[in-house]
Every structure is written in C-alpha cells, then in structure tokens.
C-alpha cells in the first residue's frame, strides 16, 4: 500500500475528528477515503472507522466534562437507550448490508436541513429539561438512534443532534457532549465484535485513530471554550448537511 495513502487517511481523520466533536457526520470523510481511495468493502470500512471514532470521542470527552456539558444524572435515560439500541445495531451490521438503510435515511438529511434553517432559535437556547418530549416518545427515539449508530455510524452525530436539540430540548453544545459520551460507550462493543469477525484493517485503523484523537481534542476545545461556539456549531451543521445531501444524491466524491 503506498505510503501517501496513510498520510491522506491521517489528514482525513483529523478533519473528521474536529467535525464529529462539534457537529457530526465526520465519518463520511473517513469512509470515503477507505472505500473510494483505498478500496475497502463497505462492511470492512464501516468496521475499520470504529477505532478512530473511539479515539476521537476519547479526545473530546475531557473538555465536555470539564465545562459541565455532560451530566450523567440528567442524561442517564438517554444514555441507556442509546447504548441498548446500538448493541442491536452492531449485531445487525454483521448480517445485513447497510446500503439500503442509508438509501432511506438520505432523505432525512433534506428534512433536517430545512429544520436547521427555519428553526434557528431552538439551536441556540439553553438546555431545558422541563420542555423535553414525553418518555414514551424519547425512549423509542433513542433506541432507534442507537440502532442506527451501531449499524451504520455515518451520520449518527447529525441525527443525534436533531433529536436531542429539538426533542430533548438540549443546547447544541450540551447535545454534542452527550453524543460524544454515548458513542464512546457503545463503540468498544462494536470494535470487539467486528475485530472477532476479522473485519478491521488495523494499519489504517490505528493511523486514523491518531488523527481523530487530536481532531476530537481540537473540536471539543472549540465547542466548549469559544463564546461563539453554539452559533459556529449550528452553521457547521448546515454545511455538513449540505455536503451530505450533495454526496448522497449526486455522489461527486466517488
């Protein structure tokens, strides 16, 4: 394998780590590198990126905890539902091709873009647990979110932010912190299962892990320390959604 492939993988994972910590969908970058440049099959690429995902969340978590954007007591129900759903999704990924699943969900990117553009005030408000949707709605939503994260991974950050900001009524930075913790908790199970089945390419996985570790640290620092963080995260989310729609429907990066 040419050495410059590893340099590209490292650079892509650094960028992905920054995007994942602030908004989400950074995995679309690392997946594109592994599948379209390096030529890994979709299932193996989906497994290989999990090492970087774990290291990226590890790099981002300290900043979110330090600044009080994560509260295990407040977030416990959402964390449990997300993790349980993810475990089911991980085992499903071993049996079923996720291409048809992603085909269905690409239309949700359009809906989310419209919501992000129209309802801007909700994204910049402070967390308000009193206005959270009923548990009868929240529990199934987070089980589904977890399932998607375990099954596909790509795009889970964006979906998570929408449900958590608009449904659970979190501030966007608090939502990013909770997203980071949830992904950190279920990803080790994904790594163990995929590794046991021989799906992880460890050379690229470890290179990308280093890139996403530093990317996560940088992204979390921006998200938690800059006064314009919420506005920046919202605008970055819109850019990420536009690129996701472009790639999903026109595939210019193939």
The pLDDT value given to residue 122:
66
The 10s digit of each residue's pLDDT in 224-234 is 988 787 788 87
Contact 60, 212 (CB under 8 A): no
Question: What residue ranges do the domains of the chain occupy?
Answer: 3-250
Q: Which of 140, 146, 186, 192 is nearest to 167 (CA)?
A: 140
* Amino acid 119: pLDDT: 66
* Ramachandran sector of residue 147 (left: φ over 0; alpha: ψ -120 to 50; beta: rest): alpha
User: Across the chain, what does the average pLDDT equal?
Assistant: 86
| Per-residue confidence band for 248, with pLDDT thresholds at 50, 70 and 90 | confident
Residue pair 216/20 in contact (Cβ under 8 Å)? The answer is yes
Model confidence at 143, pLDDT cuts 50, 70, 90, reads: very high
Name the CA dihedral angle for 147, 151, 155, 160, rounded to a multiple of 10 degrees. 20
Q: Residue 113: pLDDT band by 50, 70, 90 thresholds?
A: confident
d(CA 59, CA 36): 27
- The C-alpha atoms of residue 9 and residue 16 are separated, in whole angstroms, by 10
Q: Are 22 and 232 within 8 A, CB to CB? A: yes
Q: What is the pTM of this model?
A: 0.85
Whether the pLDDT of residue 109 is over 80: the answer is no
Report the range of poorest mean pLDDT among 61-65, 88-92, 211-215: 88-92
């Amino acid at each position: 394998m040419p050495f410059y492939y590893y340099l590209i993988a490292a650079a892509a994972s650094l960028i992905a780590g920054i995007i994942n910590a602030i908004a989400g969908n950074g995995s679309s970058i690392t997946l594109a590198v592994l599948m379209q440049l390096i030529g890994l099959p979709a299932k193996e690429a989906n497994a290989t990126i999990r090492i970087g995902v774990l290291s990226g969340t590890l790099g981002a978590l300290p900043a979110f905890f330090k600044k009080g954007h994560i509260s295990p007591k407040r977030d416990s129900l959402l964390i449990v539902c997300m993790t349980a759903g993810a475990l089911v999704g991980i085992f499903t990924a071993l049996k079923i091709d996720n291409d048809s699943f992603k085909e269905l969900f690409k239309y949700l990117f359009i809906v989310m873009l419209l919501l992000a553009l129209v309802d801007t005030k909700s994204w910049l408000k402070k967390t308000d647990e009193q206005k959270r949707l009923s548990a009868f709605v929240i529990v199934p939503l987070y089980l589904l979110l977890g399932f998607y994260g375990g099954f596909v991974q790509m795009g889970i950050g964006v979906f998570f932010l929408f449900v958590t900001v608009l449904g659970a009524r979190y501030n966007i930075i608090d939502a990013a912190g909770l997203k980071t913790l949830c992904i950190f908790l279920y990803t080790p199970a994904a790594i163990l299962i995929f590794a046991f089945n021989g799906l992880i390419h460890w050379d690229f996985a470890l290179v990308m892990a280093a890139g996403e570790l530093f990317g996560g640290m940088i992204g979390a620092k921006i998200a938690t320390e800059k006064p314009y963080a919420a506005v920046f995260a919202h605008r970055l989310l819109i850019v990420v959604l536009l690129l996701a729609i472009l790639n999903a429907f026109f595939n210019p990066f193939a």
